[in-house]
């Protein structure tokens, strides 16, 4: 089959590399335009573009699909199938309908759960112990297409966003190859989603990153790891400085009665903080305002906190 790949970030690379290594005919890679990064605002190409150029795959970076802006190029490419993985733009119906076998998407959840922009982060933040990937036949709605192949992935109690990103990237590549194999065999079955079971994984906003120590330690730990290593959850120290949290664990100390939420209970190798329901959380790695990432022990040695201080 003549396959056109659409994807942008590192997550998409797992599937693109799997297609290349399997010997599939990749006729092009469509990715987002280069974006300025860093202090110098230099234009940086997305990971899919870098890899595609290395492999000699033609790269296309349309600014828009509106009003048939890419239809002529797409018709000239004449793909049998379009594979979409974390591309970042909504495809119009004209694009979805063009290939013989339509468009297949690799989505980072077990649909119909966690439709939307941040399925990996939300699953971790909500304390789920299992997630996965689903390939689906793309339709006009947001992640509403018929399901094709699903692969389950466990979420460990200390897995963070990076851990699950990599696990789901690998699982997505596996699911995609299974999907193509069944398509060729004529055994691929499309299963409609049950909309009544659907949940939505909204894009991560700044408000999602604020640590509320009135919650119990498990909920805070899930929030911290779901947002690590990026964009990171945060609180403020008594002097008003921003303190982002990279890594944590649920504490084994009980919060004393009558002590406010967010109170620094102990400063040893970790920062132990009181939380809701009499629980405590230990901050293991942090990113203080104006500083680099560091262990809690190094942060404590800088004498930036004292026991009895209140965070938040």
Q: What's the per-residue H, E or C state across 214-242? A: CCCHHHHHHHHHHCCCCCCEEEECCCCCE
C-alpha torsion angle, residues 211, 215, 217, 221 (rounded to 10): -40
Same domain, 29 and 166: yes
Inside any domain, residue 306: no
Same domain, 227 and 288: yes
Beta-bridged to residue 222, according to DSSP, are none
Same domain, 76 and 98: yes
pTM of the entire predicted model: 0.95
Residue with tokens 């974390």: 86
Whole domain around residue 244: which residue ranges? 206-301
Tens digit of each residue's pLDDT, the chain (312 residues) = 999 999 999 999 999 999 999 999 999 999 999 999 877 888 999 999 999 999 999 999 999 998 899 999 999 999 999 999 999 999 999 999 999 999 999 999 999 999 999 999 999 999 999 999 999 999 988 899 999 999 999 999 999 999 999 999 999 999 999 999 999 999 999 999 999 999 999 999 999 999 999 999 999 999 999 999 999 999 999 999 999 999 999 999 999 999 999 999 999 999 999 999 999 999 999 999 999 999 999 999 987 799 999 999
Please name the helix (run of DSSP H) or strand (run of DSSP E) that holds residue 134, with its range, or none. Answer: strand 130-137
**Per-residue buried b or exposed e for 177-197, using 16+ beta carbons within 10 Å of the residue's own CB:** bbbbeebeeeebeeeebeeee
Same domain, 267 and 217: yes
Inside any domain, residue 161: yes
């Amino acid at each position: 089959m003549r396959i056109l790949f659409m994807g942008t970030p590192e997550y998409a690379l797992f599937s693109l590399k799997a297609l290349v290594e399997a010997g599939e005919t990749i006729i092009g890679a469509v990715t987002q335009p280069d974006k300025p990064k860093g202090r110098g605002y230099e234009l940086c190409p997305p990971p899919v573009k870098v890899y595609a150029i290395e492999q000699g795959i033609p790269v296309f970076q349309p600014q828009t699909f509106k009003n048939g802006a890419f239809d002529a190029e797409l018709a000239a490419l004449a793909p049998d199938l379009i594979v979409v993985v974390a591309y970042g733009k909504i495809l119009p119906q004209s694009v979805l309908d063009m290939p013989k076998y339509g468009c297949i998407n690799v989505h980072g959840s077990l649909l119909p759960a966690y439709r939307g922009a941040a399925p990996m982060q939300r699953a971790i933040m909500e304390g789920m112990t299992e997630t996965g990937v689903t390939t689906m036949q793309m339709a006009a709605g947001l992640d509403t297409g018929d399901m094709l192949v699903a692969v389950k992935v466990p979420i460990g109690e200390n897995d963070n966003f990076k851990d699950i990103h990599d696990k789901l990237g690998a699982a997505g590549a596996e699911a995609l190859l299974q999907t193509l194999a069944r398509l060729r065999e004529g055994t691929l079955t499309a299963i409609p989603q049950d909309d009544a079971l659907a949940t939505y994984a909204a894009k991560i906003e700044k408000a999602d990153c604020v640590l509320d120590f009135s919650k119990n330690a498990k909920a805070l730990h899930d929030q911290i790891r779901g947002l690590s290593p990026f964009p990171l959850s945060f609180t403020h120290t008594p002097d008003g400085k921003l303190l982002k949290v990279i890594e944590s664990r649920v504490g084994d100390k009980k919060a004393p009665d009558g002590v406010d939420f967010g109170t620094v209970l102990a400063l040893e190798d970790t920062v132990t903080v009181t939380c809701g329901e009499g629980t405590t959380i230990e901050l293991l790695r942090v990113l203080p305002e104006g500083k680099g990432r560091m262990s809690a022990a190094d942060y404590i040695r800088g004498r930036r906190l004292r026991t009895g201080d209140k965070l938040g």
